[in-house]
Amino acid sequence: MRKLRKFYETYRRHWQKLLRNTRLQIFNTTIEIRIFAHCIIKYAITALMDLEKQLSDIDNIGNDHVGSSTKTPLRNDAFDLSDIEKIASIKKDVQNIMQTLGLDLTDDSLRGTPNRVAKMFVQEIFGGLHPERKPKASTFENKYKYGEMLVEKNITLYSTCEHHLLPIVGKAHIAYISNGTVVGLSKMNRIVDYYAKRPQVQERLTMQIVKELQGVLKTDDVACVIDAKHLCVNSRGIRDIDSSTVTSEYGGKFKDAETRRDFLDYIQLNTDFEGV
Ligand SMILES: [Zn+2]
């Protein structure tokens, strides 16, 4: 409103001067009303255009799969409800979606769907939102003094795109160079799985895995590459079945071109152990 008043004042002064000079004072009031109306319309149009641009920007962020932060955007009250309460609430929401779509929920095949989906959201595919499910990272002393890079590759990854709630399926490859601490191999798979089991963007997932391992291993020398297919790109929208997305995060020594090259070469190794 302050902007509007200022705009009006400027306009008014300008026109008053003009009107005085041209001796059209008699029409002053009528003209001012017209000018004021003109200002309001112009202001409203500008405000609407701004709003439209903001909304389209939000939409584009989702469509382009651009993440907004390294942390998963959670509210402070995210865990006020128990899992059972969440399942009950989501069940109603899924029922509502299906009903709105016109589906017959009394049909045997559909009857159990709302409950199944609610349980799957809370306990499985979004189970990694809950900090209590974070894998306990048991670390060990690096007794054998192995000082080279350790690579855990081809970790199968199932996640969910947070912009469309459709699956992301891919492989994660992780490497670290120990500075005295090592971690059980399967822990790396579990860390990938924990962060994958949330609504995600691939860039954030890659960074979260690296950050977590850096904390566990007490070193910056951690790297992660993820190659994944996003069903929101492959099965709908542009429907490009062949494209996949590669993201990488390199910490510490992995920022050096040579170390990074070694890591990427290890990933290329063929590990089809036929018959094993
Ligand atoms: Zn998506």
For 109-137, write each residue's pLDDT tens digit: 999 999 999 999 999 999 999 999 999 87
Please say if the pLDDT value at position 69 is more than 80: no
Please state the rounded mean pLDDT for residues 231-240: 88
pLDDT category of residue 66 using cuts at 50, 70 and 90: low
Please state the rounded mean pLDDT for residues 216-220: 95
User: Given this model, what pLDDT does residue 262 score?
Assistant: 96
User: Given this model, what pLDDT does residue 28 score?
Assistant: 61
> Which residues are catalytically annotated?
161-164, 202, 230, 232
The structure tokens 């109306």 sit at: 37
User: Given this model, what pLDDT does residue 62 score?
Assistant: 56
Query: What is the per-residue DSSP string for 2-68?
Result: HHHHHHHHHHHHHHHHHHHHTT-GGGHHHHHHHHHHHHHHHHHHHHHHHHHHHHHHHHHHHHTT---
Ligand 1 center–CA 236 separation, angstroms: 10
Ligand 1 center–CA 234 separation, angstroms: 10
Ligand 1 center–CA 60 separation, angstroms: 11
Please say if the pLDDT value at position 56 is more than 60: no
Ligand 1 center–CA 227 separation, angstroms: 15
Ligand 1 center–CA 238 separation, angstroms: 11
The CATH classification number of 83-125 equals 1.10.286.10
Beta-carbon-side half-sphere exposure of residue 32 (alpha carbons within 13 Å)? 17
| Fold that domain 141-268 belongs to in CATH | GTP Cyclohydrolase I, domain 2 (3.30.1130)
Residues 222, 182: Cα–Cα separation, whole Å = 12
pLDDT category of residue 271 using cuts at 50, 70 and 90: confident
User: Given this model, what pLDDT does residue 44 score?
Assistant: 76
Using DSSP's 3-state secondary structure scheme, residue 233 falls into helix
pTM above 0.85, yes or no: no
- Between the two ends of the chain, the Cα-to-Cα distance in Å is 74
Please state the rounded mean pLDDT for residues 37-61: 67
Please say if the pLDDT value at position 151 is more than 80: yes
Residue 67 vs residue 107, higher pLDDT: 107
Q: Report the amino acid identity of residue 254.
A: F
Residues within 5 A (CB) of ion ligand 1:
161, 163-164, 232
Domain edges within the chain: 1-61, 83-125, 141-268
Which has the closest alpha carbon to 238: 247, 225, 229? 229
Ligand 1 center–CA 155 separation, angstroms: 21
